[in-house]
Amino acid sequence: MIDPEECIDCGACEPECPVEAIFPEDALPDKWEPFVKINYAYGEGMDVVNRLTDEYATEHNVQNEPIA
């Protein structure tokens, strides 16, 4: 999780991300745009993050197997 309030846009985290999921906002692939709103919501608490994540999953028919 990158705290948008703490980030200084230095780019040091980009090559360190093991799943290549970090992009500058102006270079973000369109398919990842909905996650910007979810990332910013971390400052509002996990209830908000969970609600936004659930809304995204419902809208895009994302179904994950339960973790056992």
Secondary structure of the chain in the HEC alphabet? CCCCCCCCCCCCCCCCCCCCCCCCHHHCCHHHCHHHHHHHHHHHCHHHHHHHHHHHHHHCCCCCCCCC
Which has the higher per-residue pLDDT, 64 or 20? 20
Query: Residue 15 burial by CB count (10 A; 0-12/13-18/19+): exposed, middle or buried?
Result: exposed
pLDDT at 4: 73
pLDDT at 54: 92
Show me where the domains of the chain are located: 1-68
The class that CATH gives domain 1-68 is alpha beta
4-58 pLDDT per residue, tens = 778 888 989 989 989 888 888 788 899 888 888 998 898 899 999 999 999 999 9
Q: How much is the pTM?
A: 0.66
